Structure 1
Amino acid sequence: MTIDSLGIVEARNKLGVLVSRAVHAHRPTRISRSEDERAVLISEEEYEELLRLRQEREADQVREAIAARESGEIRLHRYESRDELYTDFGLPAPGDPS
């Protein structure tokens, strides 16, 4: 599948056509504001499918982690406080200056 790429100004001028193309032809369009700011316009149906697939993958990962814990493959660590958890990961606690 090829994805058309447009700058944000051109995409704005063609938005109606791009939305119709995404919905009816299932053709996504990559829209760039800058080299670091890009998005993809897809149909709501395709977006919902992506969310469903992500949820299924996450549920599978949770099931695998539970099975690994139950079989003794992994050990869980219990933190006594939120601060202990943040310290263990080398992160500042919420509200602390970084």
Structure 2
Amino acid sequence: MEQIGIVEARKRLGTLVSRAVHAHVPVRISRSADEHAVLISEDDYTELQKLRAEREIAEFQDRIDSAGRGETTPVAFETAEQMYSHFGVSHPGERR
């Protein structure tokens, strides 16, 4: 993956977007020593979100199955936010 600074990314943004969209080449953009972002295509982002959702569903199913086998104690939640927090996953629409 190519890594560039934010100043260079601004200069080359059109090219970087084209490469991300057509060649699926991600670019790591650094703003400072500890601030980084990755430019990817919308298709790649959609796939990433799909994989994340599938992983979270599998984790929930594993925990439900574990409770069904008596390996854990079932827990009741008053809100969806409490449930997501308990399982350590972000609520849909929440930024990670």
Q: Who is 1:45 aligned against?
A: 43
TM-score (norm 1): 0.75
Q: How does 1:1-98 map to 2 (within 5 A)?
A: 3-77=1-75
Under a length normalisation based on structure 2, what TM-score does the superposition of the two structures give? 0.77
Deviation at 1:76, TM superposition (A): 3.2
Aligned counterpart, 1:87: none
Show structure 1 runs of 5+ residues with no match.
81-98
Identity across matched positions, percent: 55
Larger Rg: 1
Structure 2: any 5+ residue segments left out of the alignment? 79-96
Counterpart of 1:33 in 2: which secondary structure? strand
- Provide the aligned length of Structure 1 versus Structure 2: 78
Residues 67-86 of structure 1 deviation map (CA, whole Å, 9 limit, x = unaligned) = 00011011135589xxxxxx
Q: Distance in 1 between matches of 2:25 and 2:12?
A: 14
